[in-house]
Chains A and B, each alone.
Chain A
Amino acid sequence: MQITYNANKCPKCNILQIKGTMNQIEVIANKIEDLFYRRKKRILSVYFTAGYPKIDATATIITNLEQSGVDLIEIGIPFSDPVADGDTIQHSNHVALKNGMTIRMLFEQLRDIRNRVEIPLIMMSYLNPVYQYGIEKFCKKCQEIGIDGLIIPDLPLYEYETKYKDVFDCFNLKFIMLVTPQTAIERIRKIDFLTGGFIYLVSSASTTGSKGKMSSEQMQYFKRIHDLGLNNPLLVGFGISNRESFVNACRYAAGAIIGSAFIRAISQSDDLKASISSFVQSIKAE
């Protein structure tokens, strides 16, 4: 058996890190990696905006998503100018900010979350709020809480590679990048090489929350990426809103991500537990 790994001394914390392709050597445990090691199919990841619909809903949403059988959670930090998002998530960002959500408050709300859930947690934010908080300080805090990965849609590959990769690696945060139908193959391979956790396969050229069925072009595109045989598993996102689109998205990928449809499902909810459970059921039920 071939063992490939590379060892780097971390410039931030001076710890020797070994990154291997062998799952037998789990030098640094990461819950996202664990998940994809255990499960290869039908993984359901759900995005929600912290501070929406109510300022104090964060822990309730996370615990209920886990109990309902969701596999992975993306916690959205609201931003005033979410350019990659469609109407639904723009609205949830707006409400969350009006409710008073900030990164500091979110960290406070998540302080004991690892006493309550085991599920892998990803922070999703546009760059500016994190940049303003301080990238390294942010990562350190994420590690303390037990966050496993980051999605920062407007942090491009070049900046990540040259400025931030070492920092994210140091705090054991998988940096997850988007790949779209416009992303060239060589670039996909480079993203696959430089990032970890999974690859976020954007289903079509669109902002979040687009509706409609998966077209045959989209299915061919998923297959094309699947057939590249990348190191990282694929999760399909954007436009996944119900069981049918979830199942289609899972055909050539390890799973899929739902955001806008979940936001809509809890928008008017008086009983988050019940709303979350019935929403997840509607997606996952066999």
Chain B
Amino acid sequence: MKKFEVDQNGYYGRFGGAYVPEMLFANVEELRIRYLDILNDSSFQNEFHALLKHYVGRPTPLYFAGRISDKYNTRIYLKREDLNHTGAHKINNTIGQILLAGRLGKNKIVAETGAGQHGVATATVCALTGLECTVYMGKLDMERQKPNVERMKMLGARVVPALSGNQTLKDATNEAMRHWINNPEDTHYIIGSVVGPHPYPDMVARFQSVISEEIKTQLFEQENRENPDYVIACVGGGSNAAGAFFHYLECEEVMLIAVEAAGKGITTGQSAATIALGAEGVLHGSKSIIMQTDDGQIVEPYSISAGLDYPGIGPLLAHLSEKERVKFTHVTDKEALRAALELAQLEGIIPALESAHALAILSELNLKKSDVVVINLSGRGDKDMETYIRFINNEK
């Protein structure tokens, strides 16, 4: 991935950088100087891949979804990130970062979480390594993703409600950054997405790139070709999309599609479709596209899916959008809910609400019978059962 690689100043084209207050400079700088050496070290790689295999359960299957393929008259594969330990792709990154934290000599971890998947994945690796874990979560998200709050607590994490703003992912991120400012010496901040100051976007993308690396091998085994016609992923901050696209960025013949959460519709003022609605700005340590007012105040986003309910997007994805390497689109809450129900009933798989956004655009694509489509099923839907039950009851 040369063409879209981060430059030495932490930029992807005009996006990226490390816009942190001086209080965080030393920490971010230490990471910047050391992350590549640590990641490229063979002992790190061995430990990382051993844990991914024996603890997380990788490689995750690339499953040919026959019945849904029939319905859309094409060849659809699901990359089963939902079958990872803890139920989503998020753990690929937390395994990597916890090993890194150990090598940096940090003994405490702080993280933010939206849907709770990253929080659970962080709490899990902290339990695994015996590090102290604090997770900030918007109060609203704590209510709508209760099972994950209980899971984090059972894993020994301290879950702290973020009470500012809309009490969702953006606010949890603010609180996690404040926590890091107040505890710079002993704490590592495990950011859950490809956002934040350089080197986080690049580091998280590298940890998640195991997804597209596996897709290449697995697709070759099943279709005798490494490259599908389409790779589709949902996008909030963009970590599962970055992982699913990573090894295909240079393969121009593969169409990459990122699906944002339109919420109640992009013209309703209740949406989280950043690329559709945002403008260039600086939030949470990087220059990217963010949803904001004319005065530069960050807009409170909305999506039924807590994991996509974020007013920004990683700088790599903003760059890929600008360079038209990735096609961005968006679907509403309702469309995502219907897609989730469809997958459950056609394939016996209940997807996370986030991942359901990726499924929901199948009907909009002009797919040929011979097309090979890979959808990154980033997580499972256990955490969303309350929302699904409410939807099913209302539809009746």
Contacts and interface: CB of A to CB of B under 8 A. Distances in A.
A102 B295 contact: yes
Given A177-B22, A207-B182, A129 B296 contact: yes
Given A97-B297, A153-B21, A183-B25, A131 B281 contact: yes
A132 B19 contact: no
B298 interface: yes
B25 A132 contact: no
B23 A80 contact: no
Contacts of B26: 180, 182-184
A80 B165 contact: yes
A49 interface: no
Contacts of B282: 127-128, 131, 154
B234 interface: no
Interface residues of B, number: 36
A132 B294 contact: yes
A79 B292 CA distance: 11
A126 to B, nearest CB: 8
Contacts of B177: 83
B172 to A, nearest CB: 12
A158 B182 CA distance: 23
A178 to B, nearest CB: 4
A133 interface: yes
Contacts of B174: 81, 83
A205 B281 contact: no
A50 interface: no
Contacts of B17: 156, 159
Contacts of A84: 21, 23, 178, 181
A133 B296 contact: yes
Nearest to B183: A205
Nearest to A182: B26
A155 interface: yes
B178 to A, nearest CB: 5
Contacts of B285: 154
Given A81-B174, A84-B181, A94-B164, A128 B292 contact: yes
B283 interface: yes
Given A103-B295, A128-B296, A182-B184, A90 B21 contact: no
* Residue of A94, A183, A205 with highest tally of chain B CB at under 10 A: A205
Contacts of A130: 296
A80 B166 CA distance: 11
B296 A154 contact: no
Contacts of B144: none
A83 B170 CA distance: 11
Nearest to B300: A80
A10 to B, nearest CB: 25
Contacts of A183: 22, 25-26
Interface in B183-204: 183-185
A108 B280 CA distance: 26
A132 B23 contact: no
A210 B178 CA distance: 12
A215 interface: no
A187 B279 CA distance: 33
A81 B283 contact: yes
Contacts of A32: none
B114 to A, nearest CB: 15
A206 B181 contact: yes
Interface in B5-21: 9, 17-21
Interface string A153-180: 1111111000000000000000001111
Contacts of B164: 90, 94
Contact of B281 (A132, A158, A210): A132
B325 to A, nearest CB: 25
A159 B22 CA distance: 13
A84 B294 CA distance: 23
Nearest to A162: B9
Interface of B: 9, 17-23, 25-27, 164-165, 170, 174, 177-178, 181-185, 279-285, 290, 292, 294-298
13 contacts: A81-B284, A128-B283, A129-B296, A132-B292, A133-B296, A154-B20, A156-B19, A159-B17, A182-B25, A183-B22, A183-B26, A205-B181, A205-B184
Given A131-B280, A180-B23, A182-B184, 6 more contacts: A81-B170, A81-B284, A84-B21, A102-B295, A205-B181, A205-B182
Interface of A: 79-81, 83-84, 86, 90, 94, 97, 102-104, 127-133, 153-159, 177-180, 182-184, 187, 202, 205-207, 210
Top 8 nearest A-B pairs by Cβ distance? Answer: A132-B296, A129-B296, A182-B26, A178-B22, A153-B21, A80-B297, A84-B21, A80-B298
